[in-house]
Chains A and B, each alone.
With several copies, the nearest count.
Chain A
């Protein structure tokens, strides 16, 4: 089973040179630590910056420079700043090549639920609904099962949706899966995880064709 950092590291392999990337809060944020060598990408934060850099050194924080998670950040050379409408013009207008975010549930048709649990306090969707409805290329980074051991890869989402039919790829602690016509297609297994274990942990329809290689790092 992968830990959070390894999930991030595996997703980082999907990055291509020159891409603009929006990373959600949680595991996706860690991806910035694993950019493959020779690849240059720019991170967008939807509160209004392109070219987001690493966290500042202690004592160098700037209250006027934060990311969408409200954390203090730095700006890379060549960064640009813009207002919220322009930021979502980039997102909605599909100028971002990759969006990575977490989820509570993903359905085999690409539906995603990650903002609301009935009966629990709702904090809001932030930019998630705009991101999932707009992006051409969405990867979900999450654990394969929830804390109770229940699968998060479902036939149909049980929670209120964030977006419909939008997820293209999922990287979990157990596997890499593509969403294809008919279900979750198993692409890679986490080191040491068997196909049987993945089948058992996947409630939705899992498509297993041919050899399924282990992930390599």
Chain B
């Protein structure tokens, strides 16, 4: 079994206008940088992007927004991006805001063949409008639907040709659940390793969830909020 493709360009073959994509990452942490760059170059447009955030003006999904390749964002928080604001206010960009935990669980559900589940998040708010409400244990819950995508694009630390993935630190975030929910899942990794190098016990995403894998050319791994403390004298 060999799921390795040469590069980002080859990995994103088949992504077409008006498709739905999931993209891993939280802020700029753990985003598939190389695949995003390749998507910008294809000029594919009309995309619905399911991603917790929308990048910043000149990095991450912001690059696709700049080129107006995104029709709709499905996210929990989109606040760091002037171009995003402009497109949203002008009505060019549709935005579907989803509570972060419901977003994560809806992706996992999509990957796990659970079409719908009940959650308390959002009950009594505008998020619940039009959704079924039901009491469990004396507490109201709303019914949320699974999310899937034509392509899921995730970024891992290491991976092998079977598609097994290992993530590093909080760059894990949405990547594993989105990997489960893509009809085709593309994984870009910092390092491709030989099968057997990853301990079967410590694999975060089993290869069954990944259809294509490649080693990214380079990783900028930009930090959004560099926050430090000073060493005391």
Contacts and interface: CB of A to CB of B under 8 A. Distances in A.
Direct contact, A vs B (beta carbon within 8 Å): yes
Contacts of B170: 45, 47-49, 64-67, 81
Interface in B168-223: 168-177, 180, 195-196, 200-201, 203-204, 206-209, 221-223
Contacts of B127: 125, 129
Contacts of B43: none
Nearest to B176: A83
A72 B221 CA distance: 12
B225 A126 contact: no
Nearest to B141: A133
B227 interface: yes
Interface in B26-74: 26-30, 52
Contacts of A50: 206-208
Interface residues of B, number: 79
Contact of A46 (B100, B195, B222): B100
A93 B168 CA distance: 25
A78 B196 contact: yes
- Measured as residues with beta carbon below 8 angstroms from the partner, the interface class of chain A is 35 or more
Given A47-B170, A65-B170, A72-B223, A87 B120 contact: no
Given A44-B208, A87-B104, A71 B225 contact: yes
A3 interface: no
B90 interface: no
A94 B209 CA distance: 10
10 pairs of A and B residues whose beta carbons are closest in the complex:
A88-B101, A92-B113, A123-B79, A130-B101, A164-B124, A78-B195, A89-B112, A64-B169, A84-B104, A124-B77
Given A58-B231, A130-B102, 8 more contacts: A48-B26, A62-B169, A66-B225, A70-B26, A81-B169, A122-B95, A130-B121, A161-B125
30 contacts: A40-B1, A46-B100, A48-B173, A56-B228, A61-B227, A63-B29, A66-B27, A70-B80, A78-B164, A78-B207, A80-B200, A80-B206, A81-B170, A81-B203, A83-B175, A83-B176, A84-B101, A85-B104, A93-B110, A93-B113, A123-B79, A124-B79, A126-B77, A127-B76, A127-B99, A127-B101, A129-B127, A130-B119, A133-B121, A160-B125
